[in-house]
Every structure is written in structure tokens, then in C-alpha cells.
Structure 1
């Protein structure tokens, strides 16, 4: 019996090439396996927090309800990938809390305080896609732990009545004032400004730039032929990366449980399509929001 010959070098090389091709094919078909590590190059610092805030700007605008406003509490988990040709995709889970939750409305009785405290926290999952060097990220967000719809509508209507009872014309220099204080009677105006600004901040956000409402500098209530609230106001947006303060004039039309309409123009050196916009959204958007 003759001894077994070792495989020829050419055969070993062919087997190695076939194995390499198989591994690469599996990596393309199953992108989550370790064979394809997340691309870290080009990811800005704090991308998960930036993506969560962008998702909340979008969520707040699409909700169209001052009583549904949420702010970021913390990011629980997330992953991000960079495609040099397309942009950056972020999948994440984060917690939220009700905006101005420390200031309970006057109509909340003491026996509801515990329930109110439980409503402050929520949880969201989101997919955020930042196009390369382009604003207005594509967002799909789902949130749970929100205030019940009937309670939210009740609060919105009470806020609506409070705004309608304000004397016109409004003479407002700045909200908050120089000491950072917001008069309780002006809180509804600030909340509506925050609501309208959410759309502007979402539209202007990129993977490197994100914004927050710093101050409301002027408000003009307009007369309308219907029952809605029509405001022209100017806000100052704080851009965190550059530390610039950007003034934006916003026109908002709002009525409880009806579509929110926003038009704006920001004073900055950029192309006109990025500096201004117009949008309308419904408070009922089941494809992007849950529990609404």
C-alpha cells in the first residue's frame, strides 16, 4: 500500500480562495455578524445622543401636541454605521421624560400626583439615517409610556383656552427672561414655540450639527377667521458644535387634535432650500409614532 500524498500546493491555494469568497459572501448576506464590524471612521462624538435628540424633534413635531412634548433622559443602547457613499445610520433605544414635568398644571389635583409622576418617563426606539452633509435626517421612531390620549387632549384644550384668553397684542420681550425665568402665564406661549421649533431643529439637524431652543425673543398673535391659534414668533436656536446662536422666524398655526402647520426662515449664510421650509403634519401618525 502506497503512502498518501499530501495535497498539491495549487489545490491548497484553490481551497483557501474558495473559503475566503464564502466568508465574504456570508458577511454581505448577514451584516450583523462579527465578520462585518461597524464602520467607526467618520462618526462624530456623541452620535447616539445626537440621533436621539433628532428623533425627539421629529417625534414632538409629528405629535403636534404641547402636552405630548418629550425630552431626552438617556440613551440605553445603540449602534451606528457609516457608508462613505450614502451617510450614517443609527439604531438606538433611549428613555424620555415629559417636558416641563416639574411644573404640574394647575388643574392636576393632589391625588393624581403619583400617576403624573409615572407618566413622566417613557421609552423610544428609533432608526435615524443622516445623509452625507445633508440636513433633515430620515427618522422612524416608536415610543411607549406616553400620556393617555384623552388626558393629552384635555390638557391641550385647556392650554388652548388659556392662550385664547391672553390680551392682544402680546408685548413680550423675551422668554425666558434675563434670569432664566418663565412667567407661568407665558408658559403656553413657550410650549407652542418649542413645538414649532421642533420642526425647524429636525430639518436643520445633520450628523455634525444639532440644535436646541435657547430663547423666544418676540411673539405676535395674528387674527384668524377660524378658531385656531396663529402666531408669528422669533426664536434663538443654539447650535452646539459651533456654539452659534441662530435667529429663526417661525409662523405656527395650531388647533388641538388638528394638523400642525409650520413655516420658517432662519438668518444664516446657507442655501435658501436649507434656510427655510414649510410643513404640515397630523397629530395622528401611526406609521412613525405608536400609542397615538
Structure 2
């Protein structure tokens, strides 16, 4: 009888023992990003896999409801707006957030802050609603090199808005011109944009979304303030090519940030931004009066 009890205790001690040094640890899967193409939808789909104990811990973490009119919710929606423009924008397609309907925040230990936002949006050139959009915006945990937020976004209405007639006419006009188009101070100090400059202004907004998406974090809110200058360059292929100098307004710090962007576009190929280059800080730069932000009344 005594020998049986000892044997049982020995078996139990083996069952409850910790892994020995050198044994294989539980396998965990890091964040991954992959493109998912569907009609009317072009998103980056985020997946996260982890070991069972970590997953249980994540499930118990509280999800915070956010006031949709306050800055944390609006910042996340602005990142989704830049995401939509970077993938669907053109000189005649520029998407804007109309109103944030709801927002939540989930802090994921070791990963970052995940915002879930629902907002109404529209395409501003033809003033066409795209209905409600739903986005998950993950801001990576602070520390180390700045990494772009990871975004998953889809909308009820069509994002592939048909502006082919306007785009083709604009494209043919610039391809057939003997003198490359140039422009300065768009809009001017009175907020005026000449009609023939509006497609170039919108293209600057779409191209700037590439930069604003990459540079955004939980403490920023970017907006295109002005095109300091734009020059059409010669192109060896069917793409139109432009050199832009844009002023981005970071509304939290009130800083005006200068960027030079080499932008290419064609109706068939979409917008691409090559060699974005941040310019040195300008102490004397001021925001154009026409684009000065309204006084903030909601909390950070």
C-alpha cells in the first residue's frame, strides 16, 4: 500500500512539473498584414495569433467607449480617411469623414492601441455619399522607430466612383500641353483656388494622404494646409509626373510641416508618391488665413 501511494505521488509530480530547460516554448504568431482585394474594397486585413493564455488575457481587457465628437475618435477616423484616399483617390476623387458615429478603444498589451470607428463619409468632388464606413485602426505600441498605423476599412457605398470622363479630359489636356503646368500658393491668402488648379489641389490632398497615413499616431491630427508650389515634369511613360511642395498642418502641435513629393498619376494606374522628403523646420512659416482651424472646444 505504501509503495502504491509513492508511485501515485511520483506520477502527479511529473504531471505538474514545469518544462525542462531546452524544451520548445509555445508557438506564437505575430501581427501580420496582407492585402485583400474585393469589388469596391481595398483594405489591409490584420490578423493576430497568440498562445492560449495570452488570448484569454486579451479577451478580459476592457473595451473603452469613446465620445465620437472628441479628438481620440476623430484622429482614428482621420487615419481611415487617409487610408481611403491613398487607395482610391485621384484628381477627381477625394474622400472626407463627415461625422464619427461611434468609437471604441482596446489596449492590447505588447501590441498597441486598437480603435474601432464607425463614420459617415463622402467623396467631396461630386459630393457623393459612400454611406457608413467601419474601420479598425491599430497604432503600434510607442517606442522604437515610428511605424505606420495598420488599417482595415470598408464602406457601405461604392468607393470606385466613376469619374473617368473628368479624369480622361484632365489627363489629355496635360499630356497634350506644350507648356508644363505650374502653380503657387494654392489656395491663396484669401482661400481662392482657380478652377484649373482644383484638380492639382485635390491630387495634392490625395498624395499628402500617403504621408499623413504613415506619420500619424495617437497624438496627431494632420490636414493639408496649402500647396506652396507644383510643377509638371517630363515623363517618359504614360504617367503624368509632378513635383509638389506641400504644407501639412499638424493641428495638435499647431506645427506647419513642409514636404516635397514626387507624384505620378494616370487614370489607369492611379496615384503614386515617390521619394517623399520632409523639409527642415521653418520658424517663420504661418498657416494661410483661409485654412486656419476653428477654435477647439472639445477635450483632447
Which TM-score applies when normalising by structure 1? 0.68
Task: Report the RMSD for the aligned CA atoms in angstroms.
Answer: 2.8
Deviations 1:140-192 (A, max 9, x none): 1112323655x233332233234435562434221001100100011111111
Q: How many residues align?
A: 223
Partner of residue 153, structure 2: 141
Secondary structure (helix, strand or coil) at the match of 2:101 reads strand
Q: Separation in 2 of the partners of 1:128 and 1:248?
A: 24
Q: For 1:198-213, what aligned pairs fall within 5 Å after superposition?
A: 198-213=209-224
TM-score, structure 2 length as denominator? 0.66
Aligned to 2:75, the other structure's residue is in SS state: helix
Please give the residue correspondences for 1:104-123 in structure 2 after superposition, counting only pairs within 5 Å: 119-123=128-132
Q: Which range moved further: 232-241 or 75-84?
A: 75-84
Deviates more, 1:153-162 or 1:249-258: 153-162
Contact preservation (8 Å) 1:68, 1:146? no
Q: Which residue is equivalent to 1:182? A: 193
Query: 2-side partners of 1:181 and 1:153: how far apart?
Result: 26
| Separation in structure 2 between the aligned mates of residue 172 and residue 257 of structure 1, nearest angstrom | 25
Residue equivalent to 1:253: 264
Give the structure 2 partner of residue 61 of structure 1: 86
**CA contact 2:89–2:95 (8 Å) conserved in 1:** no
Aligned to 2:112: 87
Q: Give the structure with the higher percent strand.
A: 2
Aligned with 2:186: secondary structure?
Answer: coil
Aligned-partner Cα distance in 2 for 1:74–1:242: 23
CA contact (8 A) 1:67 1:156 kept: yes
Following TM superposition, by how much is the alpha carbon of 1:267 offset from its aligned partner in structure 2, in angstroms?
2.0
1:127 equivalent to 2:136? Answer yes
Q: Is the 8 A contact 1:89 1:130 kept in 2?
A: yes
Match of 1:217 in 2: 228
Deviation at residue 87 of structure 1 after TM alignment? 1.5
Q: Equivalents in 1 of 2:277, 2:198: separation in Å?
A: 24
Query: Could you say which structure has the greater relative contact order, defined with CA pairs below 8 angstroms and 6 or more residues apart?
Result: 1
1:235 paired residue number: 246
Gaps of 5+ in 1: 1-24, 103-118, 270-292
User: What corresponds to 1:13 in structure 2?
Assistant: none
Q: Which residue, out of 277, 282, 287, partners 1:265?
A: 277
Q: Is the 8 A contact 1:253 1:260 kept in 2?
A: yes
Does the residue aligned with 1:237 lie in a helix, a strand or coil?
A: strand
